[in-house]
Amino acid sequence: MPNIPFNKPFLTGKEAHYMYDAVYSGKLSGNGKYTKLCQSFFEQRYGFKKSLLTTSCTDALEMAAILIDIQAGDEVILPSYTFVSTANAFVLRGAKLVFADSMADNPNMDAAIIEPLITEKTKAIVPVHYAGVACDMDAIMALANKHGLWVVEDAAQAIDSFYTNAKGEKRALGSIGHLAAFSFHETKNIISGEGGMLAINDDRFIDRAEIIWEKGTNRSAFFRGEVDKYGWVDVGSSFLPSETIAAFLWAQLENLDLIQNRRKEIWKMYFDQIQDWATNHEVALPKVPNNSTNNAHMFYIVMQNLNDRTRFIEYLKSLNIHAVFHYISLHKSDFFKAYDKSFSAVLPNCDRFSECLVRIPMYYDLETNDVLYISDRINQWDIKMQ
């Protein structure tokens, strides 16, 4: 019986070579050769006006919160079914979180219910592209333009995924909002162990973003010869990663198409193999809207209830197949209950995904035989007989 982990980081074989090169280049602290290679890659391939590598997606989100000048009492609309970093970035600056429910057939926030949540204190909307599937960005950007709001895309899971707008224009996720944050954590498609990136799509933020990125100094401008000395000119922090992290990431980016093609093969194999089982057992599989591409970040199954999911995960575990559930809705967390005692909204779709969604193994090195083995064991599981 094989032992199949939930995730296994993929190595291209060049990571150590480039990291060695970075170590012996004499430039380790960041913003060197590999940082520039990575940032240029993202700008050219996806059309970001400016990209800045960060030590995590969390840092990128925190930079975004600083850039849009979140102040105590400002309101930020975001999904409750998301990772805590989406919320923390704004809580750290005193924002009031206004949670939107997910769609009924997709964990993404429901754009149709956002407008009633907007008040005179609302400053930003933060859509999260769950599993790399696009939120309704036409609707979200229209609301932002109508009400004068910022849009920060949480694209942690959305590298190399696209959205086609009402005009038929295909845009990379992360290039549509004013700002966007990406993750290169080891569980993502493209990795650097820990790492992230801020994508900047509004010219008004470019210069200040670089200053915040460099601890609140104009150090980068100094090294380009634009100023004769550098100093403390704004708030900021140590968001810039080392060159070794960027070097690791560069090896991954060189193989992005290879990685993506294999992940998509695995995703489609799962879907084709278990869709009849899912239909017969009234279990939901991922739904990708026509205006979104699928970057195969994850493959998930939505069971009918918490009990079924618990038993399903235990069944797979007994076969050495390691499946996991995902987020607990943030509005149900102990921290948020203490942070905002006035919150009373009911978010049934968020709670359903929190209780019923299960993720199965999904990574580049997953062998075809393993995918077929997992699928076969899923097809043998009968909910009613457990």
pLDDT tens-digit series, residues 152-169: 999 999 999 999 999 999
Look at residues 232, 253, 274 and tell me which one is the last residue of a structural domain: 253
Residues 243-301 have pLDDT tens digits of 999 999 999 999 999 999 999 999 999 999 999 999 999 999 999 999 999 999 999 99
* Domain membership flag for residue 4: no
1 domain-assigned: no
Domain boundary among 202, 235, 253: 253
Full DSSP string of 30-49: SSSHHHHHHHHHHHHHH--S
Question: Do residue 293 and residue 227 come from a single domain?
Answer: no
pLDDT exceeds cutoff 70 at 347:
yes
Residue 316 binned pLDDT confidence (cut-offs 50, 70, 90): very high
Q: What is the CATH number of the domain that holds 316?
A: 3.90.1150.10
Q: Among 385, 374, 373, 362, which Cα is nearest to 311's? A: 385
In this prediction, residues 68-79 reach a mean pLDDT of 97
Residues 233 and 300 in one domain: no
pLDDT higher than 90, residue 12:
yes
Q: Which string of DSSP letters, residue by residue, matches 63-85? A: HHHHHTT--TT-EEEEESSS-HH
Q: Quote the number of domains for the chain.
A: 2
Rounded to an integer, the average pLDDT of 41-56 is 98
Last residue of a domain, one of 197, 224, 253: 253
Do 305 and 243 fall within a single domain? Answer: no
Residue 106 structural domain: 15-253
3-state secondary structure of 295: coil
